[in-house]
Amino acid sequence: MMSTQSENTFVVVMAGGIGSRFWPFSRNNHPKQFHDVLGIGESMIQTTVKRFDNICPPENVFVVTNREYADLVRQHLPQLQEDQILQEPVGRNTAPCIAYACYKIAQRNPNANIVVAPADHVILRQAAFEDCIQQALEATSRQDILVTLGIKPTRPDTGYGYIQYLENSSPLKKVKTFTEKPDLELAQSFLESGDFVWNAGIFIWNAQAILKAFRRHLEEIADLFEEGASTYYTSSEAPFIDNAYSQSRNISIDYGIMEKAENVYVILGDLGWSDLGTWNSLYSLAEKNEDGNVVDGNVLLYDTQNCIIKTPKDRLVVLQGLQDYIVAEYNNVLMVCHRNEEQKVKEFVADVKARKGTAFI
């Protein structure tokens, strides 16, 4: 028999993103969370849900995704009931996504203790992860606080949020400042100061704490989703959500709540974490051969070093004389790009959409 806390523990997996920095592998009709990116025999969303097997009962896992991906979620997670798949009619960033899930969960269980996690992150140290989550859940079951996991930064990355915390002897540390995606100079100063960590984008709170935070900091989103209380778990839910999303602003939970709230805490974890947002992040995690190449495909290499190559198994690829390149082919697109220029992938996607149409996106 699970403890009362476990029965009150819910997990929300956010799986609506397109992952355009992983193009051409991640596509509109098949985003990266539904791929076996690491070559381990299961998709990222399957790995993410499995990660919570010891944390909450399977009926308490909710997946929020774009309506276009609902069938993919059903295929990858056949154990979910229909009520556990929350379908967004359109992407509106993480605040509406989290509001939808948390208001729906709270309607059924006002004492819910909720973990929110992206579907496409990598965590290599499972035991350390479970320990951090259980510490956070114990704290949020007793206090109305908002908790996030913090990761020690290894470089001045401008793609992450940064958390400055007040040092104490407790695993639960008060957040002093919360800065989303700083410029390079600021990120460098954060790194040098030593009292900043990356925001892993994994949040823990009880239902009442997050509902209060929406009411205080994002009142118009609170109004929208509170109104749906009588429709959740009924046939009226989908039309209600269509209407709510048509009125909702596009804003992240980081900008909308976490940067403003005063009751934010962080637990530091050495989790082997990566948001796996880019080709370079996959390169840094994956196993390399003696020439520093990461190879997934039917490939012959000559005088080629420090490349990441991900191509279809049914196509022979021969490469000569490349150093530090991404070579990626999926479906009808082949991309060759220098690893140091991977930030241009988003530009490629925009150009392709404008000049070649959506068939390649």
The reported pLDDT for the residue numbered 4 is 45
Q: Model's pTM, two decimal places?
A: 0.93
Angstrom distance (rounded) from CA 89 to CA 20: 19
Contacts of 234 (CB under 8 A, 6+ apart): none
Regarding beta strands 85-88 and 61-66, do their DSSP bridges make them parallel or antiparallel, or are they unpaired? parallel
The pairs formed by 41-46 with CB atoms below 8 angstroms and a separation of 24 or more are: 43/76, 44/119, 44/120, 44/121, 44/122, 44/276, 45/13, 45/15, 45/73, 45/76, 45/77, 45/119, 45/120, 46/76, 46/77
DSSP string, 184-214: HHHHHHHHHHS-EEEEEEEEEEEHHHHHHHH
Q: How far apart are CA 31 and CA 203, in angstroms?
A: 23
Query: Cα angle vertex 60, ends 91, 101, to 5°?
Result: 25
Query: Are the C-beta atoms of residues 113 and 7 closer than 8 Å to each other?
Result: no
Helix (H, G, I), strand (E, B) or coil at 343: helix
Residues 126 and 145: their CA atoms lie apart, in Å, by 24
171 within 8 A of 267, measured Cβ to Cβ: yes
Longest dimension (CA), the chain: 64
Query: In the block, which residue shows the tokens 């840094």?
Result: 284
Q: Which pLDDT score, from 0 to 100, does residue 2 have?
A: 44
Domains of the chain, residue spans: 1-274, 279-356
DSSP state, 347? H
Instruction: Provide the pLDDT for residue 127.
Output: 96
Q: Tens place of pLDDT for every residue, the chain, 361 residues?
A: 344 458 999 999 999 988 888 999 999 999 999 999 888 899 999 999 999 999 999 999 999 999 999 999 999 999 999 999 999 999 999 999 999 999 999 999 999 999 999 999 999 999 999 999 999 999 999 999 999 999 999 888 888 889 999 988 889 999 998 887 888 899 999 998 888 999 999 999 999 999 999 999 999 999 999 999 999 999 999 999 999 999 999 999 999 999 999 999 999 999 999 988 889 989 998 999 999 999 999 999 999 999 999 999 999 999 999 999 999 999 999 999 999 999 899 999 999 999 999 999 9
- What's the pLDDT at 335? 98
Q: What is the CATH number of domain 1-274?
A: 3.90.550.10
**Paired residues of 165 in beta bridges:** 175
